Amino acid sequence: MSSPTFFPVTEEVAAAAWVDEAKYKAMYEQSVKDPDAFWGEHGKRIDWFTPYTKVKNTSFEGDVSIRWFEDGTTNVAYNCVDRHLATRGDQTAIIWEGDNPAESAHITYRELHEKVSRLANVLKAQGVKKGDRVTIYLPMIPEAAYAMLACARVGAIHSIVFGGFSPDSLYDRIVDCDSKLVITADEGLRGGRKVPLKANVDKALEKAPGVTSVIVVKRTGGNVAWNEARDHWYHDEMAKVSAENAAEVMGAEDPLFILYTSGSTGKPKGVLHTTGGYLVYAAMTHQYVFDYHEGDIYWCTADVGWVTGHSYIVYGPLANGATTLMFEGIPNYPSVSRFWEVIDKHKVNIFYTAPTAIRALMREGEAPVKKTSRASLRLLGSVGEPINPEAWLWYHGVVGDGRCPIVDTWWQTETGGILITPLPGAIGQKPGSATLPFFGVQPQVVDNEGTILEGATEGNLCIVDSWPGQMRTVFGDHERFIQTYFSTFKGKYFTGDGCRRDEDGYYWITGRVDDVINVSGHRLGTAEIESALVAHPKVAEAAVVGYPHDLKGQGIYAYVTLNAGEDPTEELRKELVAWVRKEIGPIATPDLIQWAPGLPKTRSGKIMRRILRKIAANEHEALGDTSTLADPNVVNDLVSSRMNRG
Ligand code: 6R9
């Protein structure tokens, strides 16, 4: 029996949704034909202190300049909090569900307003001013949202570093943007285990004297070292300040946040997002893609350390006055039913998660899902990597009981919000396809020479014109911004992804075509992992590639050449794995390390990754032409030792 390959929009869903098929077509058409009129209208969905008179002023040529609503002024925290007080002060803004199922909390918009205002005053008391950078290294607790919004309120630029990153990675990110202040917690709690956040900050700051204050939230009460001159307890400082704070007046193009993300070369870059366009886009996509309606309980399982958490846990939902659920834990603690139990406990209507979580839970069978009700669910979403049709069908059939549309949302840290996605009332779904572009988004498929490919085709995915949520620059390095995104295909934003477009115009993202790998939905640059490996005193050279992995989507495969005289022992293999975890963080843990007496290189010394990818994937028959290699025997050696390992 073959599975259905098309899931049409049901009449019931279309009738209740913001947008049906006809409306999608009309709105899309207007959005690309007359972006000024379209966004001029939709920009009004947020409150402006001074209304904008200019809408779009963007160019992907030359110096690349992207400005939206440029003469308007507003404040993101005002829009996410203050403007809701009159109508929904007593409504829950954030439902917090702890790692431990016995712990949860409801925070109303009024409470959120008080916390954010106080924390804004704490920041000011610490000398933080408009334009200053603040690093946030927190677990998934409400204080993470307070911290983001407090920065936005005073006009400081936040840079969140995911709690799974090592002290070294944290150090790099603090120094790159020159943060003066760090907000962290004593410890995080995930799956019953403690994460030593404050200790990691202490280590990172040994080398970063520029940080003059650290605000520490007490989460577990665990023991932490204390630097009297620098460290402050969050609860003490919050009690000292007033609960009145006037939101700073921000220009639409004033920076809101920096978020570091991996690319194909060098260290992670600071993706910079600004105020007005970002918020309009995050809020609008949140409403239309998830078909968010007043009163819905909405849950995105991402961590605020990733862009998904920024746009779809905090900024988009709160700008819309939604109730957003924030989950501290993991999908399999205390049991593999946890997600579904949380859905029942809080009557979640809209659920947004990642394929890697779906695949892991699918492996546990239907029983842990079926013992829960999930009757509240209306819509399911997926993000972070391509979802394989098998996982899609399981998500749809088992989790959603065949009742809920799935929005497979393709986007990136750089795009600020969702670019390609079904709208549940308008676009029928094909399992594994991100389907069609959101309003204002003009995808284009090009071959490696940049020739535009029409109709059903496959190639490199570009976007030809700007949308309001687009990143504006790489923090401190505009040249790198131009080089990375606008130079491969001149005048177009190159996504780094490959895609196929089918005969219905649906887009199927096939994965990265550059040296970025996607492990469980987390982006890693192969160059970063290589440079961590070669920093080890026994390693001469390393090459890292992704390979297909059942649960993670891609796994990390490292080829390592040792210094002369070093023995390739099992012990050293373990040591290198631990080393990379220490250098970058657990998300970069290599899955396989293969000893490589030599690496396949061209005569000019370039490592032939294409070949290494094939060997890692066990596709030995399809290695292609190896005659241009400096030493073709290297490949035979690698293949035979790969085969011996199975
Ligand atoms: C939001 C986010 C971006 C990369 C992107 C692509 C992959 C994300 C996807 C998807 C296929 C989807 N990706 N969503 N691939 N289908 N629905 O994940 O941002 O961490 O920057 O990663 O993730 O390869 O280029 P980010």
pLDDT digit string, tens, across residues 544-581: 999 999 999 999 999 999 999 999 999 999 999 999 99
pLDDT band for position 607 (cuts 50, 70, 90): confident
pLDDT band for position 504 (cuts 50, 70, 90): very high
- ipTM of the assembly? 1.00
Instruction: Give the whole-angstrom CA distance, residue 243 versus residue 390.
Output: 51
Q: Which amino acid is at 326?
A: M
Average pLDDT, the chain: 96
Check the CA dihedral 599-602-604-606 and report its sign: negative
CATH superfamily of 520-641: ANL, C-terminal domain (3.30.300.30)
Question: Do the bridges between strand 269-274 and strand 255-261 make them parallel or antiparallel, or are there none, so unpaired?
Answer: antiparallel
In this predicted structure, what is the pLDDT of residue 646? 42
Indicate whether 238 pLDDT > 70: yes
Instruction: Give the whole-angstrom CA distance, residue 495 versus residue 209.
Output: 36
Pocket test for ligand 1, best of 383, 415, 522 (most atoms within 8 A of CB): 383
- Domain map (residue ranges) of the chain: 11-500, 520-641
Render pLDDT for 141-186 as a digit per residue (tens, 0 to 9). 999 999 999 999 999 999 999 999 999 999 999 999 999 999 999 9
Phi (first) and psi of residue 548, to 5 degrees: -65, 130
Q: Is 192 annotated as a binding residue?
A: yes
Instruction: Give the whole-angstrom CA distance, residue 608 versus residue 343.
Output: 47
Q: Is 448 helix (H, G, I), strand (E, B) or coil?
A: coil
Query: Which residue's structure tokens are 């020739």?
Result: 451
Indicate whether 644 pLDDT > 90: no
In this predicted structure, what is the pLDDT of residue 81? 98
Question: Which stretches does DSSP call E strand in 138-180?
Answer: 157-160
pLDDT band for position 621 (cuts 50, 70, 90): confident
Indicate whether 460 pLDDT > 80: yes
Alpha helices, H only, 504-564:
526-534
Residue 590 near residue 558 (C-beta atoms within 8 A): yes
| The two structure tokens encoding residue 554 | 């891609």
pLDDT band for position 608 (cuts 50, 70, 90): confident
Render pLDDT for 27-50 as a digit per residue (tens, 0 to 9). 999 999 999 999 999 999 999 999
pLDDT band for position 454 (cuts 50, 70, 90): very high
Centre a 10 Å sphere on the Cβ of residue 246 and count the other Cβ atoms it contains.
12
Nearest-atom number in ligand 1 for the CA of 408 is 17
DSSP 437: B
For ligand 1, residues with CB inside 6 Å are: 261, 306-308, 382-386, 408-413, 434, 495-497, 509, 511-512, 518, 523
Render pLDDT for 396-437 as a digit per residue (tens, 0 to 9). 999 999 999 999 999 999 999 999 999 999 999 999 999 999
Centre a 10 Å sphere on the Cβ of residue 201 and count the other Cβ atoms it contains.
27
Pocket test for ligand 1, best of 165, 411, 470 (most atoms within 8 A of CB): 411
Mean pLDDT of 301-327: 98
Q: Which helix (H) or strand (E) holds 442?
A: none
* Size of the chain, expressed as the number of residues it contains: 646
Mean pLDDT of 296-320: 98
Q: Which helix (H) or strand (E) holds 212?
A: none
CA angle 279, 381, 37 (to 5 degrees): 35
Q: Is 70 helix (H, G, I), strand (E, B) or coil?
A: coil
Residue 103 near residue 94 (C-beta atoms within 8 A): no
Nearest-atom number in ligand 1 for the CA of 409 is 17
In this predicted structure, what is the pLDDT of residue 645? 64
Pocket test for ligand 1, best of 408, 497, 524 (most atoms within 8 A of CB): 497
Chain-centre distance for alpha carbon 165: 14
Instruction: Give the whole-angstrom CA distance, residue 418 versus residue 134.
Output: 26
Chain-centre distance for alpha carbon 175: 21
Can 11-500 and 520-641 be said to share one CATH topology? Answer: no
My answer on whether omega of the bond before 334 falls inside 30° of 0, hence cis, is: yes
CATH topology of domain 11-500: Rossmann fold (3.40.50)
CA of 193 to the centre of ligand 1 (A): 28
Indicate whether 1 pLDDT > 70: no
Give the pTM: 0.95
In this predicted structure, what is the pLDDT of residue 643? 73
Query: Which residue's structure tokens are 């509240």?
Result: 376
Instruction: Give the whole-angstrom CA distance, residue 40 versus residue 30.
Output: 12
